[in-house]
C-alpha cells in the first residue's frame, strides 16, 4: 500500500498519530520481570554446577526447605504464659517461659495461654465508660447482686473473684471447659447465693464477712475441681454488702440502735468488772478475818482448858494451898489496876494517916478568859 512507504503512515514519518507527534517517554522504564527471572536462573546455574535441575541442585533445595522447616519449631513463651505442646492434637508436655522448641508443624503445635496471670471477675457490678468524668464508673447489676438470705431478707452483694490457671492443670483448662470466664462467673454467683441462703442477714451485714468469703471460695474451688477446669481461686473479695436501696434507711436505724445497745452492754460489763473484784476482795478479807478470829478463839479456849486441867491436877495434890493461891491471884488480877491501898489494920498500920483527896473529888473549873493563873495553887 502507498502509505506504508511513507514511513509512519499517512500522517508522516515516525511514530506519529493524527494529532501530532507520538507518545513521549516519561521517567525510567520499570524493569522487565522476564529479564529478572532469566538473570536469577543464570546466577543459580553458576552457584550449582550442572544446573539446578541436576541431582545436586535438587538435594540442596530439599536441604534448605528441611532446614527452614526444622527452624520453624522454635518459639518463645512470654512471662505470663505457659507453653502447651500438642503432638497430633494430644497434650504431651508443658514448657516454662523462655525460648523453647517443638517438632515443626504438623507434627507438634503449641498453645500459649496466660497461665501465670491473675484474672479478675466482678459479679453484681460492671465498669462502664463515663465521658463526663473522663474515666470509668461502676454500675450496679441488680439481677446478679440481689440475693435472698436464710431469714427471708434481701441483701445486695457485690463481690470480686481472683482466679488463675493451675500450673499443673493447663491441659484441663484448655480442653475441659469452653468458656473459662463465663464458667467461673456462673459458679461464683451460684456459690455466693448458696452461702448467703444459709446465713442470717445480721451477721452478713456486720462481722461475718470473712467467714462468708472463705465459705464461697471453698465452694467455688470444690465445684471447679469437680468440673476438672484446671482453675485455682486465689481470693474472693466482697466489695459491698448492703440492704436494698428501698429499705436501707430503716436498716441504718437498726444498726445505730444495735451499736448503742453494744455500747451500753460494754459499759455495764466494764462496771461489773470493776465492782465484782472489789466485792470478792472484801468478802475474802472478811472470811480471812473470821478464820483468824476462829483460830484465835479456839486456841485461847484450848489454852484455858489446858491451864484449868493443870491447875486442877495441882489442886488435887494440895487443895488448901492451891485454893489460897487461886484466891490471891484472883484478887491480884481484880485489884491490880485499882488506885487503893489495902492494909489489915494491924500494928503495921498504926502510923497511917487518913487522907481524903478533896482536890480529886471536886471537879476542876477551867480558868476564866483573860485571866492569868497565879504563881501558886489556891
User: What is the crossing angle of helices 248-317 and 319-335, to 10°?
Assistant: 130
CA 332 to chain centre: 86
CA 170 to chain centre: 29
Residue 16: the pLDDT is 45
Separation in Å, CA 22 to CA 12, 84, 327: 11, 68, 179
> Tell me: the pLDDT tens digits for 345-371?
666 656 666 666 666 666 656 655 544
Residue 46: the pLDDT is 62
**Mean of pLDDT values over 332-347:** 71
pLDDT classification of 296: cutoffs 50, 70, 90? very high
User: What is the crossing angle of helices 209-227 and 180-197, to 10°?
Assistant: 130
Residue 135: the pLDDT is 60
Residue 375: the pLDDT is 44
pLDDT classification of 65: cutoffs 50, 70, 90? confident
Residue 48: the pLDDT is 55
**Mean of pLDDT values over 254-275:** 88
pLDDT classification of 292: cutoffs 50, 70, 90? very high
> Tell me: the pLDDT tens digits for 221-235?
999 989 888 888 988
Q: Is the peptide bond before 170 cis (omega within 30 degrees of 0)?
A: no
Ramachandran class of 32: left when φ > 0, alpha when ψ lies in -120 to 50, beta otherwise: beta
C-alpha to C-alpha distance for 104 and 89, rounded to whole angstroms: 13
pLDDT classification of 266: cutoffs 50, 70, 90? very high
**Could you tell me which residues come within 8 angstroms of residue 227 by beta carbon, excluding any fewer than 6 positions away?**
176, 177, 183, 187
Q: Please give the mean pLDDT across all residues of the chain.
A: 76
Residue 346: the pLDDT is 63
C-alpha to C-alpha distance for 270 and 8, rounded to whole angstroms: 125
> Tell me: the pLDDT tens digits for 192-210?
999 888 888 878 877 778 8
* Proportion of the chain in helix, strand, coil states, percent, rounded to 5: 50, 20, 35
205 CB neighbour count, 10 Å cutoff: 19
pLDDT classification of 265: cutoffs 50, 70, 90? very high
Residue 283: the pLDDT is 93
- Better-predicted residue by pLDDT, 337 or 265: 265
> Tell me: the pLDDT tens digits for 141-187?
778 888 888 877 888 888 899 988 887 777 788 888 888 888 999 99
C-alpha to C-alpha distance for 248 and 156, rounded to whole angstroms: 10
- Better-predicted residue by pLDDT, 171 or 133: 171
Residue 136: the pLDDT is 65
pLDDT classification of 41: cutoffs 50, 70, 90? low
% of the chain with per-residue pLDDT over 70: 72
C-alpha to C-alpha distance for 202 and 209, rounded to whole angstroms: 11
Q: Does the structure show a pLDDT above 70 at 12? A: no
Separation in Å, CA 342 to CA 323, 325, 347: 21, 18, 14
Residue 286: the pLDDT is 94
Q: Does the structure show a pLDDT above 80 at 29? A: no
Cell output for 23? 507518545
Cell output for 193? 447465693
C-alpha to C-alpha distance for 196 and 204, rounded to whole angstroms: 8
- Better-predicted residue by pLDDT, 321 or 39: 321
Q: Does the structure show a pLDDT above 50 at 284? A: yes
Amino acid at each position: 500500500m502507498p502509505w506504508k512507504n511513507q514511513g509512519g503512515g499517512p500522517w508522516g514519518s515516525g511514530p506519529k498519530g493524527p494529532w501530532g507527534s507520538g507518545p513521549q517517554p516519561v521517567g525510567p522504564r520499570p524493569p522487565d520481570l522476564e529479564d529478572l527471572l532469566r538473570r536469577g536462573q543464570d546466577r543459580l546455574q553458576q552457584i550449582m554446577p550442572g544446573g539446578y535441575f541436576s541431582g545436586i541442585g535438587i538435594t540442596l533445595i530439599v536441604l534448605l526447605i528441611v532446614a527452614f522447616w526444622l527452624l520453624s519449631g522454635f518459639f518463645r513463651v512470654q512471662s505470663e504464659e505457659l507453653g502447651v505442646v500438642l503432638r497430633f492434637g494430644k497434650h504431651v508436655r508443658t514448657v516454662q517461659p523462655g525460648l523453647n522448641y517443638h517438632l515443626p508443624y504438623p507434627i507438634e503445635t503449641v498453645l500459649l495461654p496466660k497461665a501465670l496471670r491473675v484474672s479478675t471477675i466482678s459479679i453484681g457490678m460492671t465498669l462502664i465508660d463515663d465521658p463526663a468524668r473522663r474515666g470509668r464508673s461502676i454500675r450496679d447489676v441488680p439481677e446478679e447482686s440481689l440475693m435472698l438470705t436464710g431469714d427471708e431478707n434481701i441483701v445486695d452483694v457485690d463481690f470480686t473473684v481472683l482466679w488463675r490457671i493451675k500450673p499443673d492443670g493447663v491441659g484441663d483448662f484448655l480442653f475441659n471447659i469452653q468458656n473459662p470466664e463465663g464458667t467461673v462467673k456462673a459458679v461464683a454467683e451460684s456459690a455466693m447465693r448458696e452461702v448467703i441462703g444459709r446465713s442470717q442477714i445480721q451477721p452478713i451485714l456486720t462481722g461475718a464477712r470473712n467467714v462468708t468469703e472463705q465459705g464461697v471460695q471453698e465452694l467455688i474451688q470444690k465445684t471447679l475441681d469437680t468440673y476438672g477446669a484446671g482453675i485455682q481461686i486465689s481470693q474472693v473479695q466482697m466489695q459491698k454488702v448492703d440492704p436494698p436501696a428501698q429499705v436501707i434507711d430503716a436498716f441504718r436505724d437498726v444498726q445505730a440502735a444495735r451499736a448503742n445497745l453494744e455500747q451500753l452492754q460494754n459499759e455495764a460489763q466494764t462496771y461489773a468488772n470493776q465492782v465484782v473484784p472489789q466485792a470478792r476482795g472484801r468478802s475474802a478479807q472478811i472470811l480471812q478475818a473470821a478464820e483468824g478470829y476462829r483460830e484465835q478463839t479456839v486456841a485461847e479456849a484450848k489454852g484455858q482448858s489446858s491451864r484449868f486441867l493443870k491447875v486442877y491436877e495441882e489442886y488435887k495434890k494440895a487443895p488448901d494451898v492451891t485454893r489460897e493461891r487461886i484466891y490471891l491471884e484472883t484478887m491480884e488480877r481484880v485489884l491490880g489496876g485499882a488506885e487503893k491501898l489495902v492494909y489489915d489494920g494491924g500494928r503495921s498500920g498504926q502510923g497511917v494517916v487518913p487522907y481524903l483527896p478533896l482536890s480529886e473529888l471536886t471537879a476542876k473549873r477551867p480558868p476564866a478568859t483573860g485571866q492569868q493563873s497565879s504563881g501558886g495553887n489556891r
